[in-house]
Structure 1
Amino acid sequence: MSKLKIKRGDNVIVTTGKKGLKGSTGEVIEVIKKEGRDPRVVVAGLNIIKKHVKPSASNPQGGIVEREASIHISNVALVGKDGKAIKVGYKIEGDKKVRINKKTGETL
């Protein structure tokens, strides 16, 4: 599996997808990468779904719960300081590999 350029805590913009979702920005809560499956991200406050939960011992009430659903990683991009989508590259500084904005060259 190749290295992912988006990490937890990054601010991202949705580049493609549902009409109300496209162009929205948010912080990455979770990056999901499983062997044999495409990588996905969960973004705070975006792609909200309603999940029906059965009553159980831990949740005796049950009911409908709203939560964030995952988005395919190719449908999001990192947001630069100007609020637009950027491409990420890597550069070695000293003995560390750091992420950079490919257009401006500044570190992220």
Structure 2
Amino acid sequence: MVTDNKKKGLGRRKFHIRTGDTVYVIAGKDKGKTGKVIRVLRDKNKALVGKLNMVKRHSRPSQKNPTGGIIEKEAPIHLSNLMPYDPTVKRPVRVGYKVLPTKEKVRYSKKSGEEIKI
């Protein structure tokens, strides 16, 4: 299985979700919940969202974890199942890009027009 976007012929993709964004889950077992993006996995088109899509992993004892046992951690969610969340309108929104007069490129909420810091 090839996971590199260049090898798949997808080229460079523009992601509407970035690390630190608050997102709304639109599909899956955590549908309707919001959370903060911990990390975006660009090669897999997925993101880790804090305290959402929790899975249990069994680990054997190691130096880092001498007792071993069952650990709960976040599993990645596909980007198509996430939407940026705008706290001013309290709903998920689409994101647009615009260039300010100072030649600075910013993201903004298409619903409220508020800027989202990059």
- Residue by residue over 1:57-106, the C-alpha shift from the partner in whole angstroms, topping out at 9 and shown as x without a partner, is 33221110001111001101011122211000100012111001123322
Which residue does 1:86 correspond to in 2? 93
- Residue by residue over 1:43-62, the C-alpha shift from the partner in whole angstroms, topping out at 9 and shown as x without a partner, is 11111100000112332211
TM-score by length of structure 2 reads: 0.81
Amino acid paired to 2:109: N
Runs (4+) of structure 1 moved beyond 4 Å? none
Distance 1:6 1:64 in 2: 30
Residue 107 (structure 1) shift: 1.1
- In the alignment, structure 2 segments of 5+ residues that lack a partner are 1-11
Which residue does 1:28 correspond to in 2? 37
CA gap 1:104/1:57 in 2 versus in 1, 3 angstroms: closer
Query: Is 1:14 aligned with 2:25?
Result: yes
Q: Percent identity?
A: 44
Please give the secondary structure, in 2, of the residue aligned with 1:52.
strand
Query: Is 1:49 aligned with 2:55?
Result: yes
Amino acid paired to 1:53: S
Which residue does 1:4 correspond to in 2? 15
TM-score by length of structure 1 reads: 0.88
Residue 42 (structure 1) shift: 0.8
Task: Considering Cα pairs closer than 8 Å and 6+ residues apart, tell me whether 1 or 2 has the greater RCO.
Answer: 1
Distance 2:72 2:46 in 1: 19
Contact 2:94 2:110 in 1 (8 A): yes
Which residue does 1:101 correspond to in 2? 109
Amino acid paired to 2:114: E
Distance 1:71 1:17 in 2: 9
Which residue does 2:71 correspond to in 1? 65
